[in-house]
Amino acid sequence: MEQLIVQGGRTLSGRVAISGSKNASLPILAASILAEEPVVLRNVPNLIDVEIITQLLMSLGISVLEREDGSLRLETVDPAQCIAGYELVSRMRASICVLGPLIGKRGYARVALPGGCRIGDRPVDLHLHGLRALGAEIRVEGGDIIAEADRLVGTKINLAGPCGSTVTGTCNVMSAATLARGVTLIESAACEPEVADLGRFLIGMGARIEGLGTNQLVIEGVEELLGTDHTVIPDRIEAATLAIAAAITRSRIELEQFPFGDLCEVLSGLRSIGVEIEQNGAIARIEGRNPLRAADLVARPYPGIPTDTQAQFTALLTLVPGLNTVTDAVFPNRFMHVPELRRLGANIRCAGGTATIRGTRRLTGTDVVVSDLRAGAALVLAGLAAEGTSIIHRIDHLDRGYERLDEKLNRLGAEIQRVEDRQSFASDTIPWTTASETAAAA
Active-site residues, by number, are 117
The three-class DSSP label of residue 101 is helix
397 pairs with which residues across the strands? none
Burial 300-321 (b: 16+ CB within 10 A, else e): bbbbbbbbbbbbbbbbbbbbbe
DSSP code per residue over 144-157 = EEEEE-SS-B--EE
- Are 326 and 311 spatial neighbours (Cβ–Cβ below 8 Å)? no
Residue 263's CB is within 10 A of a number of other CB atoms, namely 25
Cα-Cα-Cα-Cα dihedral sign, residues 88, 90, 91, 95: positive
| 229 closest CA partner among 2, 74, 380, 1 | 74
| 94 closest CA partner among 38, 153, 21, 36 | 21
